[in-house]
Structure 1
Amino acid sequence: MEVLPYHNLYVGMIETLESIFEKGDYSDKALERTFKKNRLWGSRDRGFVAEMVYDMVRWKRTIDFASANALRKRHYWDFIAAWIVMNDGRLPDLEEFKKVKAQKIKGNYLQALRIPAIKHSISDELFEIGQNELGDQWITELEAMNQAAPAVLRVNTLRTNEKELKAELLDKEIRITKLKRFPDAYVLVEKENLFLTEEFKKGYFEMQDANSQLVAPFVEVEPGMRVADACAGAGGKSLHLAALMENKGNIVSMDIHQWKLNELKRRAKRAGAHNIQTKLIDSTKVLKRFNKSFDRVLIDAPCTGLGVLRRNPDAKYKLDKATLERVLVEQKEILETYSKLLKPEGILVYVTCSILPSENSEQVKTFLSNHPEFTLLEEKTLMPAETGFDGFYMAKMTKKA
Structure 2
Amino acid sequence: MNKKWTAREVSLEVLTKVDKEKAYSNLQLNQALKEANLSRVDANFATELIYGTIQHLNTIDWILQPFLKTNKLESWVRSLLRLSVYQLWYLDRVPVHAIVNEAVNLAKKKGHKGIASLVNGVLRNIIRNKDQIRFPTDLNDVKRIALEHSHPDWLVERLIRDYGIEEAEEVCRSNNIAPHTSIRVNPLKITRDEMMEKIKEELGEDTEVLPSPLSEQGIRVKGRGNLALTHWYKDGYFTIQDESSMLVAHVVDPKPGMFVLDAAAAPGGKTTHLAELMQNQGKIIAADLHKHKIKLIEEQQERLDLHIIETLHSDARKIKEQFGQVFDRILLDVPCSGLGVIRRKPDLKWVKAETDIEELTKIQKDILKNVSLLLKPGGILVYSTCTMTTEENQKIVGEFIKQHSDFRLDQQIANVLPKAINEKLDTRQGMIQILPHYFDSDGFFISRILRIK
2:181 paired with 1:129: no
Q: How many residues align?
A: 395
Matching residue's letter, 1:222: K
1:342–1:399 contact (8 Å) kept in structure 2: yes
* Superposed counterparts of 1:2-401, under 5 Å: 8-39=6-37, 41-68=38-65, 73=73, 74=75, 75=77, 76-87=79-90, 88=92, 89-91=94-96, 92=98, 93-94=101-102, 95-96=104-105, 98-99=120-121, 100=123, 101=125, 102-104=127-129, 107-108=132-133, 110-111=135-136, 115-136=144-165, 137-174=167-204, 175=207, 176-282=209-315, 286-377=319-410, 378-401=430-453
- In 2, Cα distance between the equivalents of 1:263 and 1:112? 50
Secondary structure (helix, strand or coil) at the match of 2:341 reads: coil
Change (3 A) 1:181 1:23: closer
Superimposed CA distance per residue, residues 309-367 of structure 1 (whole angstroms, 9 cap, x where no aligned partner): 11111100122221010111111111111111111111111111112222111111100
Gap runs ≥5 in structure 2:
106-118, 411-429
- In 1, Cα distance between the equivalents of 2:291 and 2:7? 37
Change (3 A) 1:52 1:267: same
Matching residue's letter, 1:11: E
- Could you tell which deviates more after superposition, 367-376 or 162-171? 162-171
Change (3 A) 1:390 1:286: closer
Change (3 A) 1:105 1:231: farther
Matching residue's letter, 2:89: M
- In 2, Cα distance between the equivalents of 1:132 and 1:181? 28
Superimposed CA distance per residue, residues 268-313 of structure 1 (whole angstroms, 9 cap, x where no aligned partner): 1001121111111159664322121100011001111121111111
- Could you tell which deviates more after superposition, 91-100 or 117-126? 91-100
- In 1, Cα distance between the equivalents of 2:435 and 2:312? 32
Instruction: Give the share of equivalent positions with the same residue, in percent.
Output: 29
If the length of structure 2 is used for normalisation, what is the TM-score? Answer: 0.82
Matching residue's letter, 1:208: Q
1:347–1:397 contact (8 Å) kept in structure 2: yes
2:214–2:247 contact (8 Å) kept in structure 1: no
C-alpha displacement of 1:106: 5.5
Matching residue's letter, 1:57: I
C-alpha displacement of 1:230: 0.9
- In 1, Cα distance between the equivalents of 2:340 and 2:449? 22
1:355–1:383 contact (8 Å) kept in structure 2: yes
- RMSD, aligned α-carbons: 2.2
Change (3 A) 1:379 1:282: closer
Change (3 A) 1:283 1:43: closer
C-alpha displacement of 1:104: 3.8
Gap runs ≥5 in structure 1:
1-5
- In 2, Cα distance between the equivalents of 1:364 and 1:317? 28
Secondary structure (helix, strand or coil) at the match of 1:224 reads: coil
If the length of structure 1 is used for normalisation, what is the TM-score? Answer: 0.92
Matching residue's letter, 1:319: K
Secondary structure (helix, strand or coil) at the match of 1:357 reads: coil
1:86–1:106 contact (8 Å) kept in structure 2: no
Secondary structure (helix, strand or coil) at the match of 2:377 reads: strand
- In 1, Cα distance between the equivalents of 2:184 and 2:85? 38
C-alpha displacement of 1:8: 3.2
